[in-house]
Amino acid sequence: MAGRRTKSFGAASVLLLGSAAAGVILVSAPSSAAPEIDTDGDGFSDAAEMATHSNPLDKNIVPANAGPPVKAADTDGDGLADADELRYFTNVFFPDSDGDGLRDGQEITNGTNPLNFLDN
């Protein structure tokens, strides 16, 4: 049997089993996630969802006994949660990523592109 390896990619780890040609890849949940990260935007942190065996990628699955939803971190105060800033490739430290005078959160609400200063 081929060897067993684990690769880490940020918070997640990937367990590789078998050979490269016929291997099986299993993705394990992060051992600990930052408490303020809410990937699916359901108001429950990824850490709380993983602790209760919920799915941090599905906002329709609410974790059991996780307590009240937490406010998602918004480092730059633009109305767009940090997890959403990563999703939209906007700047988590600058409230107006494209410099057009509208905050990134307002652009998403308006349906405009927070990375294109010509579209508002």
> How many domains does the chain divide into?
1
- Residue 60 within a domain: no
- Residue 40 within a domain: no
- Residue 3 within a domain: yes
Average pLDDT over residues 103-110: 94
Average pLDDT over residues 107-118: 94
Average pLDDT over residues 18-32: 45
pTM over 0.75, yes/no: no
Give first-to-last CA distance, the chain, whole Å.
59
Average pLDDT over residues 84-104: 92
Q: Over 50: is that where the pLDDT of 12 sits?
A: no
- Residue 36 within a domain: no
Which element (helix H / strand E) includes 48?
Answer: helix 46-51
The whole domain housing 4 covers 1-31
Q: Over 70: is that where the pLDDT of 117 sits?
A: yes
Residues 6+ apart with CB under 8 A from 3: none
Predicted pLDDT at 104 = 95
- Residue 20 within a domain: yes
Closest to 10 measured CA to CA, from 104, 97, 86, 88: 86
- Residue 12 within a domain: yes
Between 65 and 46, residue with greater pLDDT: 46
Between 18 and 102, residue with greater pLDDT: 102
**Structure tokens belonging to residue 97:** 């990523």
- Residue 69 within a domain: no
Among the listed ranges 4-18, 22-36, 43-57, 88-102, which one has the minimum average pLDDT value? 4-18
